[in-house]
Structure 1
Amino acid sequence: MPFPDEPNTVALLDYQPQWRADFESLAGRLRDALGDHACAIDHVGSTSVPGLAAKDCVDIQVRVTTIDEARYVRLFAAIGFRCRPEPWNRVEISGRQECRKLVFAPPPGARRCNVHLRAQGGPNARFALLFRDYLRADETARQAWGAFKQRLALSVPDLPGYGQIKAAATEVLMTAAERWATETGWEPADQTPTVT
């Protein structure tokens, strides 16, 4: 659920080249705040895929060695980021495994983003990278996914409903992504500290 200062409806934009620069700016701020705690900082989600329509909200994945909630809530709070309290922002199922995570929202009035904190090497971190890389590589899948999201936003403009339907459809998309990963030999970005 959004915080009171965040929109509760879905508005999609055509791909904006500025999203990459916005990610880089946010990633630099996170790198400064987290230091060696961050194994990698990745631009993920729809804003990371050139040519794909998306909500104007940059998704960032921070990969860490372990999810130490108290430590990361404190580090993020020091730069004004708020931990999202909902259960689905704490645990997700990926690769048939329950994976811990934390999701942070920016300070009120700041650039809209979601920062997903996930364990390095975890199936949920891999899922986010595969989603991005598959849609970057496959134009047909990218166009179909964008068209689906645009139709969905028109028929279900409230954020919670949109998110629930999109989550189920994402599982279908990821079946094709897994097939693509097998066929191409795709592996997640290397495990050294990076910003991708």
Structure 2
Amino acid sequence: MPTREQIVSLAESPPPPGESPWVGGATPRAHVEVVEADPAWPQWFEGLAARIRDALGFRAIQVEHVGSTAVPGLPAKPVIDVDLTVADPGDEAAYVPALESAGFHLRVREPWWWEHRVLRAEGPSCNLHVFGFDSPEPVRHRIFRDWLRAHPDERARYAATKQQAAADATARGEHTMQYNARKEQVVREIYHRAFVATGLLPG
């Protein structure tokens, strides 16, 4: 399990020199579109989760709906973010072929960052993030999601930040990674307040 210090650390984990996280010619999603919240998004997740569990069985230790589409009323890119916990994300043979047979395709490999992998699917559009049980990232994702669900003021602030970041990114022809960078400061501020409220950081 991750430690308290690991959970509250938001340090960047860039690729080592000469390394790229992208697999098979994949690149960041090029079109940044933030749309109004769709009440169908939880059902989209349930369909994706069923595909994942059917493909992996007990190898899917945890499957969680995270990100903005998991927060009712929050505008978001219409892409469902899913956190999948497996025993060993580095052992791709244990889960990637089964997920590929279910329509998910490996696009990101980051062994230097908690052995993180990303698989993408369409119909609906999905980013499937794969972590091990020792990674702090799924814990952070759940804290952030639940904090926004419970605090309308924070949800409104984040919504305004996302919409402005998307407008600026679109105007400049930027991709999703640059869009994420535009809202990073506000995300960090929200995380800090959530960490204090949960007792992970002193008030």
Q: Match of 1:19?
A: 41
Summarize the Cα distance change of 1:165–1:112 in structure 2 as closer, same or farther, 3 Å threshold: closer
Letter in 2 for 1:139: P
**Unpaired runs of at least 5, structure 1:** 187-196
2:94 maps to 1:80: no
Give me the CA root mean square deviation: 2.7
**1:1-196 → structure 2 map (5 Å cutoff):** 8-67=30-89, 68-84=91-107, 89-91=108-110, 98-106=113-121, 110-157=123-170, 161-167=175-181, 169-170=183-184, 172-185=186-199
**If each structure's strand is expressed as a fraction of its own residues, which one has the higher value?**
1
Separation of aligned partners in 2, 1:160 and 1:99 = 27
CA shift for structure 1 position 54: 0.5
TM-score (norm 1): 0.77
> Could you say what secondary structure the match of 1:114 adopts?
strand
Once residues 172 and 114 of structure 1 are traced to their aligned partners in structure 2, the CA distance between those partners, rounded to angstroms, is 22
| Runs of 4 or more consecutive aligned structure 1 residues displaced over 6 Å after TM superposition | none
Q: How far apart are 1:181 and its partner, in Å?
A: 3.2
Find the structure with the greater CA-based Rg: 2
Structure 2 CA distance for partners of 1:149 and 1:175, relative to 1, 3 Å: closer
Q: Percent identity?
A: 33
Maintained 8 Å contact 1:152/1:162: no
TM-score, with structure 2 as normaliser: 0.75
Deviation at 1:168, TM superposition (A): 6.0
**Could you give the per-residue CA deviations for residues 127-162 of structure 1, whole angstroms, max 9, x where no partner exists?**
221221121122111111111111111121278544
User: Equivalents in 2 of 1:144, 1:24: separation in Å?
Assistant: 28
Letter in 2 for 1:182: V
Cα deviation, residue 74, structure 1:
1.1
1:163-182 deviations in whole A, cap 9, x for unaligned? 23424633542343243233
Shift of 1:91: 2.6
Q: What amino acid is the match of 1:177?
A: Y
Which structure 2 residue ranges, 5 or more long, are not aligned?
A: 1-21
**Number of equivalences:** 174
3-state SS, counterpart of residue 94 of structure 2: helix
Greater mean alpha carbon deviation, residues 159-168 or residues 75-84: 159-168
Q: Deviations over 1:113-139 (max 9, x none)?
A: 111111124111212212211211221
